[in-house]
Amino acid sequence: MRPPKLEPGRKYRVHPGDASSAVRDIVYDVDTRTLEVEYASGARYAYREVPQREFLDLLRTDSVGTFVNTRVKKYRYDKL
């Protein structure tokens, strides 16, 4: 099965809700390849140069917090 193609010029928002106790909100900007993560503590980080594939894999994960810790935190980031 081919992953969906993300449209240029768009931002995609994910609210993990009850599925994650660690992550409150996620926004992916297709053009800049920036993944913004808001943690349950209220801290916000922008992870840079995150490939679309990582975001698509995040959409399919069973544990958003574990995914962010193991696959996203390796990218360059800025605290917002």
pLDDT the model gives residue 2: 55
What is the number of other CB atoms lying within 10 angstroms of the CB of residue 22? 15
What is the number of other CB atoms lying within 10 angstroms of the CB of residue 30? 16
Average pLDDT over residues 4-23: 86
pLDDT the model gives residue 14: 87
- The answer as to whether 74 is a domain residue is yes
Q: Residue 15 — pLDDT band, cuts 50, 70, 90?
A: confident
The amino acid at 74: K
- Number of domains, the chain: 1
- The answer as to whether 3 is a domain residue is no
pLDDT the model gives residue 38: 96
pLDDT(4) > 90: no
- The answer as to whether 30 is a domain residue is yes
Range of the domain at 55: 11-79
At residue 72, the 3 state secondary structure works out as helix
Model confidence pLDDT, tens digit, residues 17-68:
776 889 999 999 999 999 999 999 999 999 999 999 999 999 999 899 999 9
